[in-house]
Amino acid sequence: MSEIASKVTRLLEAIETADDAASLEQYRLGALGRKGLVTLALKSLGGIPAEERREIGQTINQHKAALQAALEQKHAVLHAQERDAQMAHEALDVSLPAQSTPMGMLHPISQIIDEVSAIFATMGFAIAEGPDIESDALNFTALNFPHDHPAREMHDTFYMANSPEDQLMVLRTHTSPVQVRALRAEGAPIRVIAPGRTYRSDHDMTHSPMFHQIEGLVIDEETHFAHLKGCLSDFCRAFFELNDVPLRFRPSFFPFTEPSAEVDIGCSHDRGCLIIGARADWMEILGCGMVHPNVIKSGGLDPERYQGFAFGLGIERLAMLKYGMPDLRLFFDGDPHWTRHYGFAPLEFPTLSRGLRP
Amino acid sequence: MKFPLSWLHDHLDSDADLTTLCDTLTMVGLEVEAVDDPHKKLAPFVVAEVVAYSKHPDANCLSVCQVSLGSGDPIQVICGAPNAHQGMKSVFVAPGNVVPSTGILLKSSKIRGLKSNGMLCSERELQLSDEHDGIIDLPADAPGGMAFVDYRGLHDPVIEVALTPNRGDCASMRGIARDLAAAGIGTLKPLLIPEIAASFSSSQCWAIAQGAEEHCSQVGGRAFSIDGNPAAPDWMQQRLLAIGLRPISALVDITNYITHDIGRPLHVFDADKLHGDTLTMRFANKGENLLCLNGNSYNLTPDDLVIADGEGTVSLAGIIGGGNSSCDANTRRVFLEAASFNASTVARTGRRLGIDSDARFRFERKVDLNSIDEGIRYASHLIIECCGGTASELVWAGSSPAPVTAIPLRIARFAQIAGITLSSAQIIEILQHLGCTVVAESDAQLSVTPPSSRPDITLEVCMIEEVLRIYGYDNVPATSLPAPEDRAKRTVNPAQRRIGLIRRRLAQAGLDEVINLSFVDEGVAKMLSEHPVPRISNPINAEMTHLRPTPLAGLLQSAAQSYDRRRAALAMFQIGPGWIRSAKADRQSLYAAGLRLGVVAHWQNAHQGGNDPYAVKADCLVVLELCGIEQPQLRRKVPKHYHPYRSGGLFLGKKPLAYFGNLHPEITESFGFKLPNGTRIAMFEILLDNLPPAKVKFATKPALEQFALQPVTRDLSFALPLDFAAGELIRTIRAVDKKLISDVALFDVYSDDTVRAVAYRVTIQPHHETLTEADLGALCQKIVTQVEKKSPATLR
């Protein structure tokens, strides 16, 4: 038996020093293979007297277990070495720049329209639309602009060449014709906002020949001037995300509303920076008023029964006040780098639950 | 409208301070745009004496002045004024103050090596006049150290208000005073005009031609025999200067003064320059022209109302007088005109001829029909006072204005519109302050006659506005809108919702959203459209004469600029309208257009074409997929601005949904792109109006289909001619067995000069039982047969 023991000791030493998987397999076969040391020893047990067999058998099994454990351990070590070598072989220079998935940005005009829509959604408004090329009749006459009146001339209208003979066509100077379109299409009660492109023949530092407005219209049997003030002050607080927004409703004139008002917002100018909500100064933000009876008539309704208010917001102005882009003209320069700087991530959908401002 | 406070106080008895006055103006609808308060602006400027004067040692045109402010040590000032001299009294300002004309903060400084501790000022620097030839030269007795505003008596702030076009009545001091009095900060003073007795018969009389009666309802006149036409008195000149008018002569200044004082435009003729004894209101004859007081000559049309004497036109009615009959220093006989002209008539002629005058401004906003007599009496008094002499009887033509119609005002209607309740006593009081005559017909209704100075008040709602305006918009509470009844209604409709989704999807695909103006020039319009496009009849410049046929127009212009500026890869899109002219009307369509140019410099892109047509094809497909269109048909039918061999259209039946591809090289050149060799512009246009209508599906979804059996894939490679659309075979293969074939991917393309090898991976999804090798073989054979039958492809 001592002969086996010394063979096992030699095998264990060999296993310990094996340096690759192939030689380890040789040692496994030499120990546990069909003609291996342990297998043969176990086979020879048959010729051993019964009284010795038990003890010898136990010894052989102990050798077997020791060899198995040594083989497994060495196998694990060799496998780990092999994996390490493989990994080193797979080395990657992670300092190389990764290629990002580009994400475009949205134009501030889109953001403001979505913000304003989210606020008026809570008050039950729908979105109405109208075309950019509008008849003179809908842009002016239906809105109670008298012919040859200075109010009409103040609009600096673009006229279309080749208008049909029976009606002069213009580029709409405001989104207000949508009031009449919506009333004719929907009747009352109605609550709508109408965002869109508008045009005036004016081009300088603070005027662009194309700009955007959002019209608002509420017509039913009850809505009055106090509602107009309430609705717009609710809007301003939600839009500027400030509970205390000083507002000033000041009498003004629009042919299509009476009484008419312009709304100023309290602000201050601190070292070139505009702060909304301060009380140092006033800045005009919108025009509004009770819809003129003649406009309600143009919309096909009886002004003795129906009444309500309308307002017009300048989208660029709202954007400039809230987000501080300084130059109106660059809104329409079409420069993607401007959008990347002043724009909004498409996943930041403005909602009242998440907040409007990203 | 601009006025010095002292002038307003001629009409308004009020002790309100400047701030209260300005706040009240704004809150009654006369928005204060600017207040020029010299007392505030010029407070730091003081009277000073030059006690020692010498030339600057290092500069010829500079002098070194020692300036005394009456007490304390003299201050050294380096001065460049040629009129500075020893003993001179002038105006000094110390460092730390702002010079009004420049807005610059004055600092101590060294000028050519010598310290200067302040500044001696010219009139222009103080914004007193344009005088800048030297520093202000004050009389020798001016007390040193005294505040300059106190010395000069500059206590009169000038207020500028913005007038809304309905308030012609407030284009006068008296109108503004009346509104302020109604708002409760003072009382309107009576306008007392001394009578001038008639001493002789008028040399001129009036006639209104047939057909002109509606355009000039009434005219009055008066002749004067005067001693001379000197300069107007100082007080009048000062007031005219304060509102930006240049004094000319007493006669002209008087008419200007009355125009601004009570809002009544007048005109004076030199009667010796008039021909015949009748002045006629008539329309101009074709071919007539008139040299006007502004020095310009105008060709008149039969739409222009004029005043004519025996030989021709002498004035453009209600706009501007003629040069041929104007008063000058030699004028001794004067004829004064005051008329009621139709607002539209004046507005049309004024607009057509482009003449802005104080008279036109007021007539087109309507002038009080009852102000003719008052205007003539006012002018008579001032003419006799300033020019001496005597006046004739008054001469008239036309008809006296009809009495103003009374308007009913329901007390309850006020509350219904305003949202607050005022008593009828409150309402009556406000209306009376505004000059209305009010009769209470019952507890519920008033009958209100507005003053003739307020022709803008014509309806019950005008009255409601007037009462609310004076009561104060600020005093109306803000009441939130009641909650909407229809809780299920959405703010955006399905079409608007889809546009929003497309916008965000394109941004997610890496494109930046931009917005361009709707205008293009004719060349761009023709390049990008096969149809005529709408033209603007009064364009702002030659680059903006037409409406764009597609938003691509702006994208291309912006991309050319932006690429030139930064030489960086671009990806941008725009959702917006494009227009074409069709037989009946101009048609507006909505597009989503996009453009990709250049590849981001990156080691992984080194061997890629980058923004080739496949990138923009993908942009179109993600949008169409979003709209529920999975397999649009590809056709090689594109508008002419696309590269004919590198573009395609995606169709649904006969309707084009989108075009994509490279820009036509000729147009690339026209837009001025400077691109490296081999770089092309890839772009797309999605025709949003051609998409099937957007719908919101309220139905719940069907159960998810799960397959228990594993799918099998088979790769098939075909040889194809170079010009065959290999992508189309995907549809052909799918169509072989729509149930079993769940996907077909084109995964490899190899081409040489004559032929292309294209490999397709077909995914087969068994549904109920595993397919045998034989089944799969049969299916593949069927695919090959179909492909070879329907295309020139052969299996490799």
Tokens, residue B145 = 């150290």
pLDDT-derived band at B579 (thresholds 50, 70, 90) equals: very high
Q: Look at residue B696 and tell me whether its pLDDT is greater than 90.
A: no
Question: Chain B: nearest CA to A90, how far in angstroms?
Answer: 18
- Domain A108-342 in CATH 3.30.420.10? The answer is no
User: Looking at the predicted structure, is the pLDDT value of residue A308 above 90?
Assistant: yes
Q: Which of A114, A124, A258 comes nearest B465 by C-beta?
A: A258
For residue A182, the one-letter residue type is: A
| Chain A contact probe: residue of B22, B493, B497, B536 with most A CBs at under 10 A | B536
Residues A251-290 pLDDT 10s: 999 999 999 999 999 988 877 778 888 888 899 999 999 9
Residue limits of CATH 2.40.50.140 in chain B: 40-152
Tell me the one-letter amino acid at B159.
Answer: I
Contacts of A199 in chain B (CB under 8 A): 518
CA torsion sign, B415 to B419 to B421 to B427? negative
pLDDT of B607 over the 70 cut: no
User: How many percent of chain B have pLDDT more than 70?
Assistant: 99
Q: What is the pLDDT of residue B610?
A: 55
Which pLDDT tens digit goes with each residue over A149-185? 887 877 789 999 988 878 899 999 999 999 999 999 9
Identify the pLDDT of residue B205: 94
A161 → closest Cβ in B509, B535, B570? B535
Q: Return the percentage of chain A with pLDDT > 70, whole number.
A: 99
pLDDT tens-digit map of B224-261 = 999 999 999 999 998 998 898 999 999 999 999 999 99
CATH 3.50.40.10 in chain B is located at: 198-398
- CA-based nearest distance A231→chain B, Å: 5
pLDDT at residue A1 in the model: 58
Class of the CATH domain delimited by B494-690: alpha beta
Distance CA B313, CA B300 (A): 10
**Does the distance separating the beta carbons of A124 and B489 come in below 8 Å?**
yes
Instruction: Collapse the DSSP code of B271 into the 3-class scheme (helix H, G, I; strand E, B; otherwise coil) and give the result.
Output: helix
d(CA B58, CA B62): 8
The band of A212, judged by pLDDT with boundaries at 50, 70 and 90, is very high
Tracing tokens 């008139």 back to the chain, one arrives at B290
Chain mean pLDDT for chain B: 92
Distance CA A150, CA A206 (A): 22
Q: What architecture is domain B2-37+157-188?
A: 2-Layer Sandwich (3.30)
CA distance B165 to chain A (A): 6
More confident residue, B95 or A50: B95
CATH architecture of B712-795: 2-Layer Sandwich (3.30)
Q: May I ask the CATH architecture of the domain B40-152?
A: Beta Barrel (2.40)
**For B731-779, what is each residue's pLDDT tens digit?**
999 999 999 999 999 999 998 888 899 999 999 999 888 889 999 999 9
Q: Lowest-pLDDT range, A279-283, B413-417, B525-529?
A: A279-283
CATH of domain B198-398: 3.50.40.10
Residue of B537, B608, B696 for testing the chain A interface, max A β-carbons within 10 Å: B537
- Minimum distance, in Å, between the CA of residue A343 and any CA atom of chain B: 8
pLDDT of residue A335 exceeding 90? yes
DSSP characters over B403-437: PPPPEEEEHHHHHHHHSS---HHHHHHHHHHTT-E
The reported pLDDT for the residue numbered A37 is: 86
Identify the band that residue A338 occupies on the pLDDT scale cut at 50, 70 and 90: very high
Phi-psi region of B562 (alpha: psi -120 to 50; beta: other; left: phi over 0): alpha
CATH 3.30.56.10 domain position(s) in chain B: 2-37+157-188, 407-475
Residues near B128 by beta carbon (within 8 Å), at least 6 away in sequence: none
Q: What is residue B608's predicted lDDT score, i.e. its pLDDT?
A: 62
A189/A201 Cα distance (integer angstroms)? 35
Residue of A191, A258, A281, A330 best to disrupt the B interface, most CBs of B under 10 A? A258
- Give dist(CA B468, CA B422) in Å, integer: 10
What Rg do the C-alpha atoms of chain A give, in angstroms?
42
A43/B212: higher pLDDT: B212
Alpha helices in B84-197 (DSSP H): 148-152, 173-182
Q: Residue B393: what pLDDT?
A: 96
Closest CA to A258 of B532, B467, B635: B467
Domain residue ranges of chain A, discontinuous segments joined by +: 2-84, 108-342
Look-up: residue for tokens 């310009």? B296
Task: Compute the mean pLDDT over every residue in chain A, rounded to the nearest whole number.
Answer: 92
pLDDT at B139 over 90: no
A260: closest chain B residue by CA: B465
Q: Out of A99, A231, A336, whose CB is closest to B562?
A: A336
- B167 contact residues in A (CB cutoff 8 A): 253
In this structure, are residues A325 and A316 in contact, taking their beta carbons and an 8 Å threshold? no
Beta-bridge partners for B656: B651
Nearest to B484 among A124, A154, A249 (CB): A124
Interface test with B, best of A253, A264, A305, A316 (most B CBs within 10 A): A253
Per the CB < 8 A criterion, the answer to whether B178 and B431 are in contact is no
The C-alpha of B682 sits at a distance from chain A's nearest C-alpha, in angstroms, of 16
Q: Is B507 on the interface with A (CB under 8 A)?
A: yes
Class of domain B407-475: alpha beta
Give me the pLDDT at residue A163, please.
Answer: 82
User: What pLDDT is recorded for position B616?
Assistant: 95
pLDDT given at position B126: 83
Residues present in chain B in total: 796
